[in-house]
Homo-oligomer: A and B are copies of this chain.
C-alpha cells in the first residue's frame, strides 16, 4: 500500500521534473549517459562534505552545512528520478525487487552474527 502511494508521489514529482526540462528545451541534454554522469558528479559533491571528517560517526552538522548537504541530496534525487524517467524504469518496483534481493542475500541471523557483507570487504 505504501508502495502504491510512493509510486504515485514519485510519478507526480517525476512529471514535474520532466516539465522543468521540457520547457527549457533541456531534454536534448538529458540522454541517459549524461544523466548517469550527473548523478555520479552530484554524489561526489555530497561526499565532499564528509571527505575530511575525522570521526566515522556523524559529525554534528551546523545548520548551514546541513542545508548545503540537503540540497546536494536533492540534486542526487533529481537526477535519479530523471534517469529513471528517461529509461522508463519504475523506481518503486526496482526498490521492492532490490530490497528482496538484499534480504535473501543477507539473512538476519547470519548477517547479524557475522556482518558478512562488511567483514568480507
Interface flags for A73-100 (1: CB within 8 Å of B; 0: not) read 1111110100110111111011101110
**Chain B residues, Cβ within 8 Å of A80:** 73, 76-77, 80
Say which size band chain A's interface belongs to: 35 or more
A73 close to B89 (CB less than 8 A): yes
Given contacts A2-B12, A5-B8, A86-B58, contact A76 B36 (CB under 8 A): no
B77 close to A50 (CB less than 8 A): no
- Identify which of B8, B45, B46, B56 contacts A83 (C-beta below 8 A): B46
Complex A-B: 14 CB contacts under 8 Å? A5-B5, A5-B9, A26-B115, A29-B52, A34-B51, A34-B56, A39-B47, A51-B121, A58-B87, A70-B84, A71-B98, A74-B95, A76-B80, A80-B80
Nearest 6 pairs between A and B by C-beta?
Answer: A44-B44, A74-B98, A6-B9, A70-B94, A43-B43, A33-B50
